[in-house]
Amino acid sequence: MKSFNLCLLGFGNVNRTLVDLLTRKTDDMRDRYGITWRVTGVASRRLGWLADPEGFAPQTLCSAGVIADEEFSRQPVSGIAGWLRAAKPDVVFEATSLNVDTGEPAISHIRAALEYGAHAITANKGPVVLAYRELRDLAARRQRRFLFESTVMDGVPIFSLFRDTLPAVEVRGFIGILNSTTNVILTGMEQGFSFEDSLKKAQALGIAETDASYDLDGWDAAVKVAALVNVIMNVPLAPQRVERQGIRHLTAEAVREARSAGRPYKLVCRGRRDKNQVHASVGPEQIPLDDPVALVSGSSSIVRFETDISPGLTITEENPGLYATAYGMLADFIRAVGTPKS
């Protein structure tokens, strides 16, 4: 039986939900994989860098939305290097905010975790699209894992599918719907709501931020496209090189007319290999109803891959929540450290 020290970088909804999920799955992980765990480090802008080598009480962490700061007063330290030394992590879960231009501070945090000797697991797309090869190679040199299943389609095993299950397969291209906010808005407009009311619905559901520009202008989808191209197609691609158009120019009338004509609008993500290059794009397209991509509505997502072996491999995720994202991180944890019992 191996007990692992876990550290949480960022302590918002994702990592708090992860702690709850780890708690729920404690018996299963122990019985099936011989894994036990404790959280020895928590860091956020509000809490600072906090460490307890004996482990924080899970019930305290699970109620962190209302927790008093004094509950986390064990060993405050300064900066990530001191935090890592104090918390002694085996695994660092990174879930800080995305910076689409620099990927910081997430890239530096993951680099520090790997150099310390911990596995690094992230839900942040920035390190994957802006520093994937550096962090992948650093992890290999340190004999650790850099994993990021939660960055695209939550916990759906896209990256691990090609890495672990489909060896020697060449991905030639993909098409998909990867942004929930725009899909909820387009679905709402098809149902007779205005753009503004559909956006408010997405915000009320917790899918869209108060400032939804990142989604509406196609940036979230472009970053996910870049992540797929970087990792699965093994071609370096920055999000800024993805051809990008959002949905702001679409009127409710145009969206309803397209649906009535049997060719609804979707914010479509594409990647297509052309020799050693990949052409990638994000933009609204009218998709015929006989294509499964056209049938995905609300907060659901879909991606269809074309490979040298299979002309169409489709993965669909229906209406995921925070637990799906947290599960992607938990699954990466087990991939990094677990060995199934015989």
Angle at 124 between CA 84 and CA 91, to 5 degrees: 30
> Which value, to the nearest 10 degrees, does the dihedral of the CA atoms of residues 166, 169, 174, 177 take?
10
Does residue 65 carry a pLDDT above 60? no
Q: Give the pLDDT confidence of 72-108 residue by residue, as tens digits.
A: 445 567 799 999 999 999 999 999 998 888 999 999 9
| Beta-ladder partners of 286 | 265
Rounded to an integer, the average pLDDT of 24-30 is 95
Q: State the pTM of this model.
A: 0.93
Bond preceding residue 105 cis, omega within 30 of 0: yes
Please give the structure tokens belonging to residue 141. Answer: 């040199």
Q: Which domains does the chain have, with CATH numbers?
A: 2-155+323-337 (3.40.50.720), 171-319 (3.30.360.10)
Question: How many CB atoms are closer than 10 A to CB 7?
Answer: 28
Q: What is the mean pLDDT of residues 150-168?
A: 94
